Amino acid sequence: MMRDTASGPFVVTLVVDLPITKLDALDVIAFAADSVVEHAGTAWPRVGLAPNVWAEVQIPKFADPPPLAIDVCSDASLEAAAVEAQRLDAALTRYGWVVRVPRPGEAG
C-alpha cells in the first residue's frame, strides 16, 4: 500500500522547491542531520532526527512539479517535531536549500 501522508501523529511540514528525487532528498537530509536513511529500499524510508522524531519525504503526485514536502514526524509531541524541524531547516539552509513552510492548500 502506498502512502502519501506523514506516518507520525505529530507533524511539522517543511517545503523545498527543488526538482529532486525522494531518495536523493533523503540522502541530503541524512547528511545534513548527521544521520542515516532508515528502512532504505522499502516503501517507507525515513531519516531519524532524534529519539521519537524522524523525517519523511513526500513526493508530488505523478507528473506534478515540485514542491517537495519534508514531514518531520514525532510519536512524542508536536513540540518535539517543531524543534527538530527547526534544526533540520537550519541544517539544510547551510547546504544551500531554501526551505519554507507550506502555503495554504499545499500540505495537510
Residue with the bigger pLDDT between 77 and 21: it is 77
Question: Is the model's pLDDT at 44 over the cut of 80?
Answer: yes
In this prediction, residue 5 has a pLDDT band, given cuts at 50, 70 and 90, of low
What count of other Cβ atoms lies within 10 Å of the Cβ of residue 106?
12
What would the pLDDT profile of 52-108 be if each residue is shown by its tens digit?
A: 999 999 876 665 667 889 999 999 999 999 999 999 999 999 999 999 888 887 754
Which grid coordinates are listed for 34? 548527521
Q: Model's pTM, two decimal places?
A: 0.86
Answer for the pair 6, 59: CB distance below 8 angstroms, yes or no.
no
For residue 53, the surrounding DSSP H or E stretch is: strand 53-58
